């Protein structure tokens, strides 16, 4: 099948490449000339483990080509995946400008029957909007169908998630489009959920919001556990082994970040409000998440004698989680802003993010040298297995604040460090 992927970000590029792995021919379309030039040359414009090699393999084999010629790309392909961004609008809703622009172009250039698939996370009712925008822009009434097929991949493990999904959701009212989608995914061995477009769109928001809810639940519980000197990791383990609950997304930390959870939870809250049925449970999820970094910073402040002024703090990790260079909505930046507000002297490190800021150091050793405390804010493996014996003499005061509960606390305490995690007693 000739497939067009519109939007060459995380979702678009990964989707295109895994379809190549399944024997399809892909065209990647993006209006950003720089991205297209880089991709044509086989180089990825973001960091995602494993994806660079796959891009090289399939660009060399011409299984995937990249273009910014919208008209030609639309005319030559039969299935069009919309994978453009849906950023958060001022009122918390998802901004559909990019999705509508793609729909408009499809309407203008459609030359034969096509299946239009929304893979971007889009609010309930978007399939209908895409349908009307295409119709409004058609010169002649050429038939087409719109399908909602949300993507559930995570940054940092995008390839594995996309190659081995837990489920594939297909939302359409058209039997023809459903048959084409089944054919497209025929080599994927996972359950299929076939439903209406609106339900499919809701599934994506409901999934992300539920995972965010699990995180906020354990984070708020961690604060209670902290008061009671209980190790919250034991609670996660103890409840996670219950198959009805499951162990994932129960790691207490500095709160969730990234390009999806914060935006998608807000968008669902907005949708619910519009319907006059507020999702108060999700409003609480957001509140807990906003408070979580602040709660942790307060602990640092108290431990350092009530003031951070002129204290040198080494912040390890800038990305919103490990194995990505994405810093969108990263709790690390909330931490940084707050430290600077409190007039601390900040030094930062990240294995992948190159912020260009003057406080960023090249090595971990350089970052911690002279520090009154180090704070682990991203769960990079690099910070898990540090040579603590070498780190300690470099620091002014041996304080570790572990925002990800990932350090072997017994070991560092033995070495003479003062250690505080997130209710990691």
Q: Which residues bind ligand UDX (CB under 6 A)?
A: 151-155, 208, 211, 215, 249-251, 253, 256-258, 260-261, 320-321
Q: Which two tokens stand for residue 370?
A: 């002279």
Q: Which CB sits closer to ligand UDX, 192 or 249?
A: 249
Contacts of 278 (CB under 8 A, 6+ apart): 269, 272
Q: Minimum Å distance from CB 201 to ligand UDX?
A: 14
Q: Minimum Å distance from CB 2 to ligand UDX?
A: 26
For residue 346, give the 3-state DSSP assignment.
Answer: strand
Evaluate whether 297 touches 245 at the Cβ level (below 8 Å): no
Q: Which helix (H) or strand (E) holds 53?
A: helix 51-60
Q: Which residues are known to be catalytic? A: 260
Q: Which of 332, 329, 388 is nearest to 360 (CA)?
A: 332
What backbone torsions phi and psi does residue 263 show, to the nearest 5 degrees? -70, -45
Please give the DSSP secondary-structure letter assigned to residue 360.
B
Q: Minimum Å distance from CB 279 to ligand UDX?
A: 18
Q: Minimum Å distance from CB 367 to ligand UDX?
A: 20
Q: Which of 131, 134, 262, 270 is nearest to 209 (CA)?
A: 262
Q: Which CB sits closer to ligand UDX, 142 or 245?
A: 245
How many other C-beta atoms are found inside a 10 Å radius of the C-beta of residue 246?
A: 12
Q: Which CB sits closer to ligand UDX, 47 or 388?
A: 47
Q: Which two tokens stand for residue 152?
A: 């559930």
Q: Which CB sits closer to ligand UDX, 260 or 364?
A: 260
How many other C-beta atoms are found inside a 10 Å radius of the C-beta of residue 363?
A: 9
Q: Which CB sits closer to ligand UDX, 110 or 285?
A: 285
Evaluate whether 417 touches 390 at the Cβ level (below 8 Å): no
Q: Which helix (H) or strand (E) holds 3?
A: strand 2-6
Q: Minimum Å distance from CB 370 to ligand UDX?
A: 29
Q: How far is CA 4 from CA 15, 140, 148, in A?
A: 11, 22, 15
For residue 383, give the 3-state DSSP assignment.
Answer: helix
Q: Minimum Å distance from CB 82 to ligand UDX?
A: 15
Q: Which CB sits closer to ligand UDX, 156 or 197?
A: 156
Evaluate whether 334 touches 362 at the Cβ level (below 8 Å): no
């Amino acid at each position: 099948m000739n497939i067009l992927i519109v939007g060459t970000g995380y979702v678009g590029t990964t989707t295109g490449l895994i379809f190549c792995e399944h024997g399809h021919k892909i065209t990647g379309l993006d209006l950003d000339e720089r991205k297209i030039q880089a991709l044509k040359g086989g180089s990825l414009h973001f960091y995602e483990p494993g994806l660079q090699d796959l891009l090289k393999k399939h660009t060399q084999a011409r299984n995937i080509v990249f273009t910014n010629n919208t008209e030609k790309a639309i005319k030559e392909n039969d299935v069009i995946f919309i994978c453009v961004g849906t950023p958060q609008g001022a009122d918390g809703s998802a901004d559909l400008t990019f999705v509508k622009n793609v729909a408009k172009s499809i309407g203008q250039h459609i030359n034969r029957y096509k299946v239009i698939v929304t893979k971007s996370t889009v609010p309930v009712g978007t399939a209908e909007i895409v349908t009307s925008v295409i119709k409004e822009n058609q010169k002649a009434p050429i038939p087409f169908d719109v399908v909602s097929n949300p993507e559930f991949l995570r940054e940092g493990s995008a390839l594995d998630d996309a190659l081995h999904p837990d489920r594939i959701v297909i939302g359409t009212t058209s039997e023809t489009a459903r048959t084409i989608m089944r054919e497209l995914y025929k080599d994927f061995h996972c359950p299929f959920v076939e439903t209406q477009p609106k339900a499919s769109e809701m599934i994506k928001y409901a999934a992300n919001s539920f995972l965010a809810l699990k995180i906020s639940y354990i984070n708020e519980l961690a604060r209670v556990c902290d008061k009671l000197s209980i190790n919250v990791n034991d609670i996660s383990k103890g409840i996670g082994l219950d198959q009805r609950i499951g162990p994932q997304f129960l790691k207490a930390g500095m709160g969730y970040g990234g390009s999806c959870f914060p935006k998608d939870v807000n968008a669902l809250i907005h949708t619910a409000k519009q319907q006059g049925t507020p999702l108060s449970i999700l409003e609480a999820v957001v509140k807990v998440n906003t408070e979580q970094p602040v709660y942790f910073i307060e602990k640092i402040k108290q431990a350092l004698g009530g003031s951070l002024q002129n204290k040198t703090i080494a912040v390890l990790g800038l990305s919103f989680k490990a194995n990505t260079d994405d810093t969108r909505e990263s709790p690390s930046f909330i931490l940084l802003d707050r430290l600077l507000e409190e007039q601390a002297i900040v030094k930062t490190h990240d294995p992948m993010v190159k912020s260009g800021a003057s406080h960023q150091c090249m090595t971990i050793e350089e970052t911690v040298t002279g520090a009154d405390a180090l704070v682990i804010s991203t769960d990079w493996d690099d910070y898990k297995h540090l040579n603590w014996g070498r780190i300690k003499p470099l620091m002014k005061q041996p304080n570790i604040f572990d925002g990800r509960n990932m350090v072997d606390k017994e070991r560092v305490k033995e070495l003479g460090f003062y250690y505080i995690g997130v209710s990691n007693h």
